[in-house]
Structure 1
Amino acid sequence: MTQPLRRADTAPRQLFSTTPAQRVALARRQFFEEGVRPSGLVGEAVIQSWMRCRRSHEDTRRAVAFDAVTPSRLHAALGRNRELLEAARAELAAMEDALAGTDCRVILTDREGVVLHVTHHPAAAAQPVLRVTARVGVNIAEQRVGTTAPGIVASTGQACTVMGGEHYFELLHEMHCAAAPIHDVHGRLAGVLDLSVEARRFGFDAAQMVGLYATTIENRLLQAQAGEHLILRFQASPALLGTPLEALAGIAADGTVAWLNDAAARLIGRLPQAPGERGVAGLLGHDLPALLRLGRHEDAQPMRLASGLGVWMRASLRAADGVDFRHAVALQPPADVPEAQARTAPAEHGEAAAAGHGADGSPDAAGTLRDHEQRLVRQALAAHGGNVSGAARALGVSRGTLYRRLRGRGEGP
């Protein structure tokens, strides 16, 4: 039975621990030999990982097995994470290109720690541990290989760096790794991006680099999984839009905020647990029709959030089939089509109806995204005398896509 950790009385000894390696060596002696919590010598995330690992791995000197998962499990893992791999493809290539002059490897794992992607490195012979660790299909979860940066991230969901002797098993003491989480549209951990090097330290800020690329991959994944959500992009400076620092929010058809990325959560706060408290008016300070109207503008528009903070915001809606119907853009009828024929429901109730309001100005069901799409489709068809080809051109989609949309609603052209 392991002894409970005691409070460290190490002030005199810490004065003589000047290098990182000396501090880690002292921390290991305190933790593993004296049963003392080495606070201040290594990070709290590492200490917590050591505690978790010690419950299942007593001997830190034993060999670590890096056995790959079975082919069937690997095939299943790659299938389950197809969206993640697709979202990460461009960023993994860019990251590996930037690191081509180093000995670092880029590793992407799923939420369970199974390696989905790893950099092929020609210098593998000089990296004995990475040669057997960095293989697609190998499980590097904390329960398997002890304390590592990707293992801690998979266990806690928080970015982490683990250097040298901070690894639980002595076999990994020549390793240095930095990892960051990637979350999905439901806020769950989708994967872990890791940067590892063997037998030398990073010559740059690996934590910042891996965090930047993980954020970019996460933003791509959120947008890919957004379905028919209205996607808002906003930041205090318009120069940050389109960068990894932009805030993203997904707005559902019922006018509630479905998800936020980390940048958005820092600007407006974390999403409330209760769905009834996620209305866009309360969280963003604007109702759904006002946000839909942002789509009329190509450039970002100045908006003021519910907190009073001024931001620059863009809005776009991409349906599940990847088609953008430009929901907030008023269609202009051709010159040879009578205006009365081109107008439908919006003309009956004025501008309020076009914005998704009833005749009295109050929000109604027409303000939902799907209803707004249907209204624009009807407008386009009316403006072109029922001609599907003309309506499709006006909407910026293919004729086949418009036919599928009409059939999906049980309507004919």
Structure 2
Amino acid sequence: MNGQMHQHHAARVEAAIASGQAARSALVASWCRSSRLHHLDPSGHRPSTRLTDAELFYARERIAPLLAAAQGAMDRLYQAVGAAGCCVLLADGEGIPVDRRGTPADDATFQSWGLWTGALWSEEHEGTNGIGTCLVEQRPLTIDRDQHFFTRNTLLSCTAVPIYDHEAALAGVLDVSSCRADRTDAFSNLIALAAGEAARRIEADLFRRAFANARIVLAPSAEGQGGLVAVDADDLVIGATRSARVGLGIAPGRPWQPVPAADLFGADTACDHLAGGQRAVVQRALLRAGGNVSAAAKALGVSRATLHRKLKRFELRAH
């Protein structure tokens, strides 16, 4: 990019900030944060900041459950977009990519652009960009070419989706980035859909791992996304994904308090599905125990009294 283009982009960013458009434009609001909060210069030439190998190792260790849950979804997403010249990045809550997928032939290009593990992509370090701005705004977004704050990043197109953990807290970002000049709006929309679906798969896997000993049940969810809740052996809902919380009208940011499944779902179809699932679980436990209530209760991890209540509720008999 030549000096004249550098100056044009920097002047455009500074003019937008000065115009007071931040109240009407999320992009300009991000440019304002980059300039006024983080004191960055859009024409700055300093290279991207990167962690040492030791620092990256500890960053990966801090989010080991997320890393483990993301492997399959990242592989599938890369299979869908890699041939089109894109790389896939998983970043932590600090904006640090801790894992990636990319074509080896493109590695040198992506590494030179900082689209690599250990780079710092928070707004504080890189201004407006896919990963950093997604973390701040906590919503799926695309920062395309000259929407980036730094002039040196204006050849990049980055689509980022937030990932929430089993407690509905922001855990990281899934990002698909490209340096191709021929990336079209239609292709960007397809990438956004694929990245969104991959992020939801990661969240579901993370949730199932966190509640490995509970029953996982589909629940009403926000915007058609699959919400999940975890139900223990005493019929208490002990966890819910962020989309399930939003769908159930529960503030995502509040600590989860166990609640009886019947109280949470009422008499809707989700409750019917839940009850049916429980009845089947109790029946299987009784059959395996040869009708011995004490043995079945032990296998289910509940008290004998609790199991007797469930037998009465589901109209089952011990043989």
Could you say whether these structures have the same fold, taking a TM-score greater than 0.5 normalized by the shorter chain as the test?
yes
* 1:259 maps to 2:239: yes
**Bigger Rg, which one:** 1
Counterpart for residue 56 of structure 1 = 38
Alignment length (residue pairs): 291
**Larger mean Cα displacement after TM superposition, 219-228 or 163-172:** 219-228
Counterpart for residue 5 of structure 2 = none
Alpha-carbon distance change, 344 to 164 in structure 1, aligned in 2, over 3 angstroms: closer
Deviation of 1:208 after TM superposition, in Å, equals 1.6
Counterpart for residue 82 of structure 1 = 64
What is the TM-score of this pair, normalised by structure 2?
A: 0.76
Residues of 1 paired with 2:195 and 2:88: CA distance?
Answer: 9
Residue aligned with 1:113, SS: coil
RMSD: 3.7
Deviation of 1:187 after TM superposition, in Å, equals 1.3
**Contact 1:65/1:145, CA 8 A, preserved across alignment:** no
Alpha-carbon distance change, 62 to 353 in structure 1, aligned in 2, over 3 angstroms: closer
* 1:329 maps to 2:310: no
Higher RCO by CA contacts (8 Å cutoff, separation 6 or greater): 2
1:92-141 per-residue CA deviation (whole Å, 9 max, x = no partner) reads 111111123211111111111111112233443884x6534122111211
Residue aligned with 1:99, SS: helix
**Contact 1:111/1:190, CA 8 A, preserved across alignment:** yes
1:42-93 per-residue CA deviation (whole Å, 9 max, x = no partner) reads x42x222112111223421012432321222211111122211111111111
Amino acid at match of 2:164: H
Alpha-carbon distance change, 176 to 39 in structure 1, aligned in 2, over 3 angstroms: farther
* 1:67 maps to 2:52: no
* 1:159 maps to 2:140: yes
Question: After the TM superposition, which residues 81-100 of structure 1 pair with which residues of structure 2 at under 5 Å, given as runs?
Answer: 81-100=63-82
**Contact 1:25/1:165, CA 8 A, preserved across alignment:** no
Amino acid at match of 2:76: A
Alpha-carbon distance change, 284 to 29 in structure 1, aligned in 2, over 3 angstroms: same
* 1:182 maps to 2:166: no
Question: After the TM superposition, which residues 229-248 of structure 1 pair with which residues of structure 2 at under 5 Å, given as runs?
Answer: 229-234=214-219, 245-248=225-228
**Contact 1:149/1:160, CA 8 A, preserved across alignment:** yes
Unaligned runs of 5+ in 2: 1-8, 298-303
Residue aligned with 1:138, SS: coil
Residues of 2 paired with 1:275 and 1:96: CA distance?
Answer: 34
**Contact 1:124/1:131, CA 8 A, preserved across alignment:** no
Amino acid at match of 1:111: G
Alpha-carbon distance change, 156 to 354 in structure 1, aligned in 2, over 3 angstroms: same
Select the structure that is richer in helix. Answer: 2
Alpha-carbon distance change, 71 to 275 in structure 1, aligned in 2, over 3 angstroms: closer
Counterpart for residue 9 of structure 1 = none
Amino acid at match of 2:307: A
Alpha-carbon distance change, 98 to 290 in structure 1, aligned in 2, over 3 angstroms: closer
1:309-333 per-residue CA deviation (whole Å, 9 max, x = no partner) reads xxxxxxxxxxxxxxxxx55634226
Question: After the TM superposition, which residues 11-410 of structure 1 pair with which residues of structure 2 at under 5 Å, given as runs?
Answer: 28=13, 30-32=15-17, 34-37=18-21, 43-44=25-26, 46-54=27-35, 55-124=37-106, 127=109, 131-200=112-181, 201-202=183-184, 203-205=187-189, 206-234=191-219, 245-252=225-232, 255-271=235-251, 273=254, 278-285=259-266, 291=274, 294-297=277-280, 326=281, 329-332=284-287, 342-344=292-294, 354=307, 356=309
Deviation of 1:150 after TM superposition, in Å, equals 0.9
Counterpart for residue 4 of structure 1 = none
Unaligned runs of 5+ in 1: 1-23, 237-243, 298-325, 362-378, 384-413
Deviation of 1:278 after TM superposition, in Å, equals 4.2
Alpha-carbon distance change, 225 to 327 in structure 1, aligned in 2, over 3 angstroms: farther
Alpha-carbon distance change, 64 to 258 in structure 1, aligned in 2, over 3 angstroms: farther
